Amino acid sequence: MAFTEKQEALVKDSWEILKQNILENSLRFFTIILEIAPAAKAMFSFLKDSDEIPQNNAKLKSHATKVFKMTCESALQLREKGEVIVSDTTLKYLGSVHVKNGVIDLHFEVVKEALLRTIKEAVGENWSEEMGCAWGEAYDQLAAAIKAEMKQEA
């Protein structure tokens, strides 16, 4: 199904809201990931040695921000080109980072759920099912590209 201008706008507009409070939303994103999959904690270098999620960790914030931004970028590409294209170098790098850290396909569902819940909480009354579907589709296509690269790597 074609990705519409409306869907792209839903993603963009909610990202504008989300980024106003990016530190808090990054922490929330991460907290939900660990609520769903506590074992994921061991995979992240910035968590390994702490009992709690560090409240002001630059890496956590920048990585989480990248996940949101890359998903937004995917929404734009889906609308413009009908597919998600990640630059070769970025894809190779992300493929290897995720393989190296022991990420498996199933984890992508966890991150998706956490991403959608973070956005839902962040936008409050502006949330709609349609908004969730738009983010979900952009995420799925991005995840498919990373997963395919991970299979090449493995």
Residue 67 sits in the site that holds ligand ISQ (CB under 6 A) = yes
CB distance 59 to 45 below 8 Å: yes
Q: Is the dihedral of CA 44, 49, 55, 59 positive or negative?
A: negative
Residue 135 sits in the site that holds ligand ISQ (CB under 6 A) = no
Residue 30 sits in the site that holds ligand ISQ (CB under 6 A) = yes
Binding partner of residue 151 among ligand ISQ, ligand HEM, none, CB cut-off 5 to 8 Å per kind: none
Token digits of residue 98: 């995720």
Please name which of 51, 50, 67 lies closest in space to residue 15, comparing C-alpha atoms: 67
Q: Which of these segments, 2-10, 63-71, 76-84, 124-132, binds ligand ISQ (CB under 6 A)? A: 63-71
Write the secondary structure of 100-141 as one string of H (helix), E (strand) and C (coil). Answer: HCCCCHHHHHHHHHHHHHHHHHHHHHHCCHHHHHHHHHHHHH
Q: Which residue lies nearest ligand HEM, judged by its C-beta?
A: 45
Quote the CA–CA distance of 68 and 62 in Å, as a whole number.
10
Binding partner of residue 135 among ligand ISQ, ligand HEM, none, CB cut-off 5 to 8 Å per kind: none
- Nearer Cβ to ligand ISQ (79/107): 107
Residue 139 sits in the site that holds ligand ISQ (CB under 6 A) = no
Residue 40 sits in the site that holds ligand ISQ (CB under 6 A) = no
The string over 20-56, giving b where at least 16 C-beta atoms fall within 10 Å of a residue's C-beta and e elsewhere, is eebeebbbbbbebbbeebeebeeebeebeeeeebeee
Kindly list the residues in this chain that would bind ligand HEM in the complex (CB under 6 A): 40, 43-46, 59, 63, 66-67, 70, 94, 97-98, 101, 103, 107-108, 111, 139, 142-143, 146
Binding partner of residue 146 among ligand HEM, ligand ISQ, none, CB cut-off 5 to 8 Å per kind: ligand HEM
